Structure 1
């Protein structure tokens, strides 16, 4: 027997008022005759046929257990819902499901999101980011001082890479069909290393390295510093050069060359890519590369595909990146030298 909706209840009452017997109405509505009899009784007693308020199914967890769930996931942000469901029992010592845990966490404002992937920061690294560089020396720099800095970095680009931003529209059970799978080579096929530098109003480079081996100090000095950085600083003067702490940058050979060339170098804390504005430029270039109609097939095509957007970077974009240094310093101080949203 089907349960009568509110519309069908009024229809059944209308048939009764038309003079049909209860047995005939029950046959037409496909319900038991007792249902029609009680429906008429409820109308006579309460003047309504709507359902009365019900308490609903009792929750399988108490409020105290809900607080414990939330506390466990706040203390361990990477604790899975399935693991948490096995640690806590509900009312009457009953098991709770992972979906119940997700609903309780969602009610408290916790959602499962992809974590930010950052470098491993030890206490020494956090101390350097917070005190040695930013708090004591550069937190009070104004925009004019930051405009005299040239920010540099290297980044590796591959012909094929796994972009975590890509989404696929599919139905349930359509995870593995060919048109729903994004194939890529784990090793990225051909790749190259790209060096570049930016200032408030200009860009330097790019320099491409097709050799898969790491850049050594001699190559870095000859192809980057001597060919690009030194001429730029000699032309404009009063320039501060920024580089990270890669081995080729901190080598004695490199340091001696910079000192002999009178290039002023900005001290930089280890493992601090979030404080370097040029990192956003690599993401910008990768997006432009992904939007091309014809994807590069070899290292030479990849070099051309990166060189064109590099030379076409809008000046206002460079100015926006460099102008963010004050906010980056403030974010590093607020995070006590930890990870920032940059």
Structure 2
């Protein structure tokens, strides 16, 4: 409850003699909310501080205010596209769900799907989903966890084998269409806008040719990575 509403509750109940129910109705609040607020104000004495914030119980946030502001800047500036992307860049020790809850508090959540509720199957048949993905020869780039008892940390089943230079990896670009997967393109080195344009020219248009589709009839769905939009 805001300090202004706390002050109104105090004035109406203590100064004007209104009941909790009358006050809740006048302020368009739930009766239990008004009752709790009034009780907390009474605990402060005859001159309560309406701006006083009572410390909340429970586990403290795992994201500091400073990192939270940084995460919001990453999303709004386009440096990160979603909670999973933020996890890779800033919060390797947190689950994407925790990061997603933090973003929701800042009203940063997906709304675009609402505009497609009325789409018919004929329209969805035109949508092609494209993205790139990295595949490691051994394991994952992310942190791995295991369940163990005290003293078992060095047992073979709890230790991740390490290969020099990671054992190698492969980055590929692919596209999914209504008729199934399209052409798969191996990405050489670090992808940039120029290479991505070449991939679209070769593999995307090649898939359109394979499926006898006109490029102008395709709706390409991809994320907001800078190389996709530059």
Question: TM-score of the superposition, structure 2-length normalised?
Answer: 0.47
Which structure would you say has the larger RCO, counting Cα contacts within 8 Å and 6 or more residues apart? 1
Question: TM-score of the superposition, structure 1-length normalised?
Answer: 0.34
Higher Cα radius of gyration: 1
